[in-house]
Amino acid sequence: MNRRDLLKAGLVAVAGMVIPLNALEVFDDEAKAAVKAAIEMVPKKRRWAFVVDTRKCVGCGMCVKACKMENEVPFDADVSRTWVERYVVLKDGDVLIDSPKEARYGYTKNDPMGREIKEDEIAKGFFVPKLCNQCEKPSCVQVCPVGATYKTEDGVVLVDRTWCIGCGYCIMNCPYQARFFHPVYNTAEKCTFCYHRITKGMKPACVQACAFGVRKIGMLNDPNSEVFQIVMNERVMVLKPETGNEPNVFYIGLDKIVR
Amino acid sequence: MGHAWRPLAVAFAFILLILIVRIFVVPSDFMAKNGDYKYQWHRVSNEKDWKDFPVGYRGREFCGQCHPDKLEAINKSKHRKVECENCHVLPEAKKSTHPVNLQKSYKYKFIIGINKTRHLCLRCHQKLPYRPSVYRNFAKPVEFKMQDGEKHNPGMPCITCHDVHKASFK
Amino acid sequence: MTEVHGQLWTIKQLFTYPNEYIYWTVHIALYPYITGLVAGAFVLSSLYHLFGKKELRPVSRFALVFSFALLLVAPMPLLFFHLLHPERAFNVFFTPHYYSAIAAFGLVFSVYGLIVASEIWFAYRPHFIAQSQSRKGIMGLIFKVLTLGSYDLDERTAHIDEKAVKFLAAIGIPSACFLHGYVGFIFGSVKTVAMWKSPLMPVIFLMSAIISGVALCIWTYILGMKFFRREICTDTVRSMGRVLAWFIILALTLEMLDFVFHGYTAEESWSILSKIIFGKFKFKIFVLQWGLGMLLPIILLFIPKLSTIRAFVASTCVLIGVWMMRWDVVIGGQSMSKSLAGFMKYKMPIWPHTFEEFREGLFSVILLLILPFIFLCIFNKFTPVFTEKKCNFDTEEAH
């Protein structure tokens, strides 16, 4: 192999490497747009969103009671569309988490996980209300084999009770375990943001029942809504962002031990 | 060669059967709304089914139609953010003691009554080390009243001394 | 109290979300198990039809028909025992949502079923025609239907049939792999269950499918020959044993790789996942699934001069081991709470007092495990599976 051949081979190799790189640039704008869309706070479409201010929650469980009554989930059944968790961190580092009876009777005793705890043992503690996150990319909807669950145009995920076959795949795929089987209809059941209320201009039952202003609902792309103001001006967090589901329930005052 | 296609004919008959049955079984409005097959593949009329779900919680205005005095009292009190139905809906009661049959007259879904147990008040007012001690839902934050239910007059109904609608003593 | 689906057999420990129960129970373990047997049996029969492994001829037809018998049972645990609305099971065909692995499964399953059924038809066509002409009454009628109205039988059609069987075996292998790989995908794509979420899942399921299918063929072949008092072909058993042993090595490697990867990357969930693997399920995984189900059979099968009894013991161990693998994946995966702060224990209902307890309990499992053998016995009336009287692999098939 002489020098000329070597040069030729080198040029071909370089050209070969450059062409695919150039080809990628075609996608550059698209890629930028995709990244931009992923980090934008406010979606372009109409979206119902929820804010939970965990700093204000006292754990009375009135929201759970209201939800179960409103949405006809049997009150004595051990499942619920919304629930309140109690987190207690002890000074020795132990973390106690519980949610007895989904907190439908509230918290009236200092007995996390059934343990009697003295006040001076506790480092910190708080309550975290949970509900369906009405994800932007709901993994539960993605896996429904029959199209019995879907996302409405305003971003609420609903279940068709007349079409659900009860396979439980959506329940397995919800990172937040917001889904369960309805004990009466035997179909997948979940929080609807009280779709029958919000579409009539009312607030969801849990929001109305909360006397402490923990729960707020509004349109995420409506600059006049309180939810928009909070999401844009305060430091909010979502649960399990690593799943890529892009939840539409935003939390204020979330601790790292909350899952 | 002809016979070799017969299993395929059976397969096509099978597919055809499914397609025919499908016409009768699948609701006509079952579609991918907005062309979004991933997230909006559903029976469109189900959205209306959910919108038509009967409303249960009516809020204080509903109660205030017949009980304006109570509504006025509570609206002046520190309990003004507490809905009537939070305390007066009895989830586990079988029969209503309410003089008017709300189910019949107003299609009201719940059983209304008076819950005199201490537990009801303690849901908010039991002192817990991690229960927020400041109430922040008024224009100005106020100190939140908390009691230890085991030490504060145990066994006695709270309403013996307290008027809930005034959020103060009787 | 209103009983919630899942409450009957779930015992919660520490903190689990209120709505969290073991929703996927024993039938979801049974369904990939039987599907795996389908795929494995079919691959075994194809080894003869496609690659001409002559020593497998005595079992090739049996494996094919058995595969079909298993195929009919495979969706039953899912459709009739697991679904809370079994009457809506066909919605999967009416409004399929192909983003879902389960919906795509319906399609893959049907295509595969048609391939197997067609292959059986081509393989047994001369038999159907002969029977339809000699038998009377109902049996004669059934055979007439089975011929699909085609009575051509000469050298030319025989050649076509042979080619068709080869072709169907050829497209059958990838679709069998696809079928079972898909079952693995149903689990591997669940991003919320740390134990399942792995791109290796489809391959792991495929490998364990093949070993369980081959093992079941060995097992049933030996038992069947004993039952009919025929000669058991040593070469056939040894050939199946070799296939089994090599696939066990592949399966074990992949399963270990999966765990090693979970442990080495040690994502957030590993702290609790490791407590499942090395704690609550250590006996089931390391002793039953790997020790009894894989290492022991490898040793038994690799010792030279494989005897019938050794092959029988090894294949029994493999069948138990693969069942344990399905159990560990399905139940083990759900045993850790998505809150990463608690566990759930599964307690299968044994004695049925209610219909729910029967449906989700031991007896429905036993019923479903017997059903393929009942189907095989029925099919044997129409498509006799053990036609070879002697172990002679050099002559052409005697039909």
Per-residue pLDDT tens over the stretch B31-43: 998 889 999 999 9
Is C393 a domain residue? no
**Interface residue of A108, A117, A151, A190 to substitute, partner B, most B CBs within 10 Å:** A108
Residues of B in contact with A70 (CB under 8 A): 55-57
Q: Which of residues 295-314 of C touch A (CB under 8 A)?
A: none
Candidates C93, C97, C152; nearest CB to B3:
C152
Give how far A141 is from chain B: nearest CA, Å.
Answer: 6
Residue C396's SS3 state is coil
Within a domain: C347: yes
Residues A16 and A93 both lie in one domain: no
Chains that touch A (3 or more CB pairs under 8 A): B, C
The pLDDT of residue C394: 57
Query: Is C388 contained in some domain?
Result: no
Who wins on pLDDT, A176 or C397?
A176
Q: Which candidate, C78, C101, C99, C73, places its Cα nearest to that of C90?
A: C78
Does A209 contact chain B (CB < 8 Å)? Answer: yes
Q: What is the mean pLDDT of residues A23-49?
A: 72
Distance from CA of A43 to the nearest CA of B (A): 16
Q: In this structure, are residues C372 and C34 in contact, taking their beta carbons and an 8 Å threshold?
A: yes
Instruction: Kindly compute the dihedral angle of the four CA atoms of residues C145, C146, C151, C157, in this order, to the nearest 10 degrees.
Output: 150
Same domain, A11 and A66: no
* Mean local confidence (pLDDT), A58-69: 94
C: neighbours with 3+ CB pairs under 8 Å?
A, B
- Flag whether pLDDT at A107 surpasses 90: yes
Question: Does residue C389 register a pLDDT over 90?
Answer: no
* Exposure letters A100-129 (e unless 16+ CB within 10 A, then b): bebbbbbbbebbbbeeebeeeebeebbbbb
- What are the chain C neighbours of A166 within 8 Å (beta carbons)? 83-85, 88
Q: Nearest CB to C97: which of B8, B25, B41?
A: B41
Q: Note whether C11 contacts A: Cβ–Cβ < 8 A.
A: no
pLDDT at C327: 94
Q: Are residues A30 and A141 in the same domain?
A: no
pTM of the model: 0.89
- Average pLDDT in chain C: 89
Confidence label for A168 from pLDDT (cuts 50, 70 and 90): very high
Do A95 and A10 lie in one domain? The reply is no
Task: Name every chain B residue with its beta carbon within 8 A of the beta carbon of C95.
Answer: 26, 30, 41
Sign (positive or negative) of CA dihedral B151, B153, B154, B160: negative
Coil, strand or helix at C345: strand
pLDDT at residue number C192:
92
Q: Tokens 């729960």 belong to which residue?
A: A215
Under the banding of pLDDT at 50, 70 and 90, the label for residue C2 is confident
Whether B2 sits inside 8 A of C148 (CB atoms) is no
C281, C328 Cβ separation under 8 angstroms: yes
Q: For residues A147 and A167, is the Cβ–Cβ distance under 8 A?
A: no
CA distances from C104 to B101, C99, C111 (A): 53, 8, 11
pLDDT the model gives residue C245:
94
Same domain, A47 and A34: no
- The Cα–Cα gap between B87 and A254 comes to 29
Question: Could you tell me if residue C78 is inside a domain?
Answer: yes
How far, in Å, are A27, A153, B68, B87 from residue B97 at the CA level?
A: 69, 43, 20, 15
Residue with tokens 């005052």: A253
Per-residue pLDDT of A129-152, as tens digits, reads 999 999 999 999 999 999 999 999
- Answer yes or no: are the C-beta atoms of B54 and B103 closer than 8 Å: no
Which of C23, C31, C6 has its CA nearest to residue C323?
Answer: C31
Structural domain includes residue C180? yes
Q: Is residue A183 located within the same domain as residue A62? A: yes
pLDDT exceeds cutoff 80 at A22: no
Range B18-30 average pLDDT: 90
Instruction: Quote the number of domains for chain C.
Output: 1
Q: Shortest Cα distance from A35 to chain B (angstroms)?
A: 21
For the cut 50, the answer to whether the pLDDT of residue B52 exceeds it is: yes
Instruction: Classify residue C210: in a domain, yes or no.
Output: yes
Helices C308-327 & C234-265 angle (0-180, nearest 10): 30
Report how far apart the first and last C-alpha atoms of chain B are (Å, whole number): 99
Report whether A147 contacts A163 (CB < 8 A). Answer: yes
Residues 241-280 of chain C whose Cβ lies under 8 A from any Cβ of chain A:
268
CA angle B99, B101, B102 (to 5 degrees): 115
Q: How many CB atoms lie within 10 A of CB A66?
A: 27
| pLDDT at residue B137, as a whole number | 87
Q: Which residues pair with A49 in a beta bridge?
A: A218
Short-list C42, C5, C189, CA closest to C116: C42
Q: Which residue of A has its CA nearest to B25?
A: A163
- Is C80 inside a domain boundary? yes
* β partners of residue A85: A128
In degrees rounded to 5, what are phi and psi of residue A234? -110, 170
Residue C390 Cα, gap to closest chain B Cα (Å): 31
Work out the pLDDT band at C135, boundaries 50, 70, 90. Answer: confident
pLDDT average, residue stretch B22-26? 90
The model's confidence at residue C101, banded by pLDDT at 50, 70 and 90, is confident
> What single DSSP character describes residue C56?
G
Least confident interval from A237-246, C144-153, C274-283 = C144-153
Across B114-135, average pLDDT: 92
Q: What is the CATH number of the domain that holds C313?
A: 1.20.1630.10
Interface contacts (B, C; CB < 8 Å): 47
Reference C186, options C341, C326, C372, C352; nearest CA is: C326
- Contact: A177, C193; criterion CB under 8 Å: no
Supply the DSSP symbol for C332: I
Residues A121, A28 share a domain: no
- Do both A124 and A229 map to the same domain? yes
The whole-number average pLDDT for the span A186-207 is: 94
**Are residues A21 and A83 both part of a single domain?**
no
For residue C305, name the pLDDT band (cuts at 50, 70, 90): confident
pLDDT band at C151 (very low <50, low <70, confident <90, very high): confident
Instruction: Identify the residue with better confidence: C384 or A102.
Output: A102
Across the interface, whether the CB atoms of C20 and A177 are under 8 A apart is answered yes
- Provide the domain count of chain A: 2
What are the backbone angles phi and psi of residue B112, rounded to the nearest 5°? -100, 140
Average pLDDT over residues B86-97: 89
Partner residue opposite B6 with nearest CB, options C97, C114, C150: C150
The predicted pLDDT at position A17 comes to 66
Range of the domain at A24: 3-39
Which chain B residues are Cβ-neighbours of C122 within 8 angstroms? Answer: 4, 7
d(CA C94, nearest CA chain B) in Å: 5
- On whether the CB atoms of residues B122 and B149 are closer than 8 A, the answer is yes
Residues A161 and A120 in one domain: yes
Q: Is pLDDT above 60 for A93?
A: yes
Q: What is the pLDDT of residue C399?
A: 38
The CATH number for A82's domain is 3.30.70.20
Q: Is B32 on the interface with C (CB under 8 A)?
A: no
Residues A31 and A48 in one domain: no
How large is the ipTM? 0.90
Chain C residues with CB-CB distance to B3 below 8 A: 125, 148, 150, 152, 157, 160
* Arithmetic mean of pLDDT, A45-66: 93
Compute the distance between CA of residue C195 and CA of residue C188 in angstroms, rounded to an integer: 9
Residue of A nearest to C19 (CA): A79
pLDDT (0 to 100) of residue C365: 93
Q: Does C354 contact chain A (CB < 8 Å)?
A: no
Residue C299 in any domain: the answer is yes
Instruction: Report the residue from A60, A61, A125 with minimal CB separation from B130.
Output: A125
Contact B132 A58 (CB under 8 A): yes
- Assess whether pLDDT exceeds 70 at residue C34: yes
Report the residue of C7, C17, C26 to disrupt the A interface, i.e. the one with the largest count of A CBs within 10 Å: C17
Q: Find the mean pLDDT for residues A91-95.
A: 93
pLDDT of residue C46: 85
Domain of C169, in residue numbers: 10-382
The CA–CA distances, whole Å, from A187 to A79, A255, C283 equal 13, 33, 36
* Average pLDDT for A70-87: 94
3-state secondary structure of A42: coil
Per-residue pLDDT at C397: 45
Do residues A161 and A228 both lie within one domain? yes
| Residue A20 binned pLDDT confidence (cut-offs 50, 70, 90) | low
Contacts of B148 (CB under 8 A, 6+ apart): B126, B127
Kindly state the average pLDDT of the residues C201-222.
90
Shortest CA gap A117–chain B (Å): 10
